[in-house]
Amino acid sequence: MTSIRDIEREDTDILILGSGGAGLFAALHAQQSAPEGTRITLAVKGLIGKCGCTRMVQGGYNVALGGGDTVERHFMDTIQGGKWLPNQDMAWRLCEQAVIRIRELENEIGCFFDRNPDGSLHQKAFAGQTADRTVHKGDLTGIEIISRLMEHVLARPIRKLQEHRAIGLIPTRDGSALAGVLFIDMRTGRFRLVRAKCVMMGTGGGPTMYKYHTPSGDKTMDGLAMALRIGLPLRDMEMVQFHPTGLLAGDDTRMTGTVLEEGLRGAGGQLLNARGDRFMFDYDQQGERATRDVVSRGIYAEMRKNNDPEQVGMFISMSHLGPENVRRKFAGMVKRCADSGFDLAGGKVEVVPTAHYFMGGVVVDPDTRTAIEGLYVAGEDAGGAHGSNRLGGNGVANSTVYGGVAGDVMGMDMRRMGALRDPDEQVLAAEIERACHPLRRKPGHIQNLRHKLQEAMWEDVGVMRTGPGLQRGQRRVAEIRAELMETGVDPSNLAFNLTWHDWLNMASLTEISAVIARAGELRENSRGAHYREDFPEPGEMEASYFTVARQKGNELELEREDVRFTIVRPGETILPEGEPETLVAAQ
């Protein structure tokens, strides 16, 4: 078995975890802002450009580009969509910097987005927004962004550690700073410690602990699990966003849960129940164009009314918009549905709420710094920007904006940092022991445990929650975790031992699932993605709080912290000039 003396060790100056929009932008900006000769390393669990959630983005990129839209308006939609829980300084920076970043994507990175006949960028309607502000490349926006970013990164003198799984953030002995990151080289099964002065974590969220989910199965909350173990505070952990329209293609295909993008409803798509009736206006005056949390609850409520075991979900219908028009505007979605046996353009497609995005994450400041020196977090790993609900189109904007911010800040911070830090060898040994735990146990059926976890989270910690259900969910997760710890992996060959990585995936998922359920129990009101049937009211906006979870020893501690209204207060709005005196009562 591996000992601490057997691990490979190397040094860099800036280490970036993840190759989504946050990671790739951080790498490019760090190279521009850091002193000459700075060593930059990009490490990714899969292959650069071929993994992560940014490349899966279909809908688009929110940015206020005029025509009646403003940064202030985008900001207010973000705050109100997040039900007054967002960190307002982070939300403002997101909206303001998105204008700069979209020009960078076009003019420097080389992205091609759809345009109007006059040459201006085309912006489509997305739910929960007061302007058409979503820039896109058909319905395959993420692939365009990641493909162009990948070309730039692969051409730069940046060290690439592909198929390297991060398994531990390693602090200094006194715990005041980060020394480096422990990896498993998946190609060999060997451990590798990479020391760095600055580490940016952009591993993405990935709520794949639910029965229906959109991210690929390798997205398993690894970053948040590592942050939890090192003692960092995590906020808004109850806030799991369910996209209302996940494709329902049966239990025997991974196509189930993949997203039918929000632009379908923005363009006039209708949601129908088992009788063929539109139902969303029974739940919200905006109907199908309500925010994702509202539409998800509407679909879930209709699912509970339906007693037909042959029909699980509800239906989305686009045919009234003209089949040829739908095929032209949503070619990617039409093909995806056709591959699963559905006619999106001319018929109906069965859909179900699907776990899509995680608003919770590590507590960071607007410069992406964390409570431990040397660690920065951007993208879905960072909490605060979205509050209790992310607007469609704000996700890829958040990743690219804050990835760039992290790169700039790390480059500046490098100038004041001294030598590389020495790791706490005891923490390093403990993380190795943790990863080797299943190699000493009798092999078992890890996928069966994952299915059990997905059922437990969907049933007890899902779209609609109750106190007793959340408590039951915690017990079920704890039982699954205990069974996992008694389940082993064949240790005879660790090179590309995917069963070992399945076990590590489950370890991360069970750690974070327990936090989601605990935070959900602590929040005794209903805000955004978190809905308590036993506490259906949202509570006073002026008394808004967010939950904070910390791991202290073997105990998980949770508390509430008051939201700071640093720019605008509930009942107010902010006008385009953006000066304090422009605050007026909201209509």
* 292 tagged catalytic: yes
Select from 336, 355, 374 the last residue of a domain.
355
Let me know whether 443 and 339 are in one domain.
no
Catalytic residue among 292, 336, 421, 465: 292
* Residue at 253 is within a domain: yes
Q: What type of residue is 454?
A: Q
Cα distance between residue 73 and residue 87, in whole Å: 16
* Residue at 288 is within a domain: yes
Cα distance between residue 161 and residue 183, in whole Å: 10
* Residue at 76 is within a domain: no
Place of tokens 């280490």: 15
* Residue at 60 is within a domain: no
Those residues with Cβ within 8 angstroms of residue 275's Cβ, 6 or more apart along the chain or in another chain = none
The predicted-structure confidence for 417-429, as pLDDT tens digits, reads as follows 999 999 999 999 9
Gyration radius from the chain CA atoms = 23
Average pLDDT of span 248-276: 87
Number of domains in the chain: 2
* Residue at 419 is within a domain: no
Q: Specify the pLDDT at position 66.
A: 87
Those residues with Cβ within 8 angstroms of residue 123's Cβ, 6 or more apart along the chain or in another chain = 60, 63, 65, 67, 69, 131, 132, 133, 134, 135, 136
Higher pLDDT, 2 or 153: 153
The predicted-structure confidence for 96-124, as pLDDT tens digits, reads as follows 999 999 999 999 999 999 999 999 999 99
Q: Specify the pLDDT at position 577.
A: 66
The helix/strand/coil state of 201 is strand
Select from 318, 336, 355 the last residue of a domain.
355
Q: Specify the pLDDT at position 1.
A: 55
**Would you place residue 5 in the very low, low, confident or very high pLDDT band (cuts 50, 70, 90)?**
low
Q: For 132-192, what is the HEC assignment?
A: CCEECCCCCHHHHHHHHHHHHHHCCCCEEECCEEEEEEEECCCCCEEEEEEEEECCCCEEE
**Would you place residue 586 in the very low, low, confident or very high pLDDT band (cuts 50, 70, 90)?**
very low
* Residue at 130 is within a domain: no
Those residues with Cβ within 8 angstroms of residue 50's Cβ, 6 or more apart along the chain or in another chain = none
Q: Specify the pLDDT at position 2.
A: 59
Q: Specify the pLDDT at position 51.
A: 84
The values of phi and psi at residue 111, to 5°, are -75, 145
* Residue at 309 is within a domain: yes
Q: Specify the pLDDT at position 216.
A: 85
Q: Specify the pLDDT at position 582.
A: 47
Q: Specify the pLDDT at position 581.
A: 43
Q: What is the CATH number of the domain that holds 327?
A: 3.90.700.10
Q: What is the dihedral of CA 387, 392, 393, 396, to 10 degrees?
A: 60
Average pLDDT of span 557-583: 83
Query: Which domain range does residue 246 map to?
Result: 242-355
Pairing of strands 159-161, 40-43: parallel
- Across all residues in the chain, what is the average pLDDT? 93
Q: What is the CATH number of the domain that holds 493?
A: 1.20.58.100
* Residue at 556 is within a domain: no
The predicted-structure confidence for 170-229, as pLDDT tens digits, reads as follows 999 999 999 999 999 999 999 999 999 999 999 998 899 999 999 888 899 999 999 999
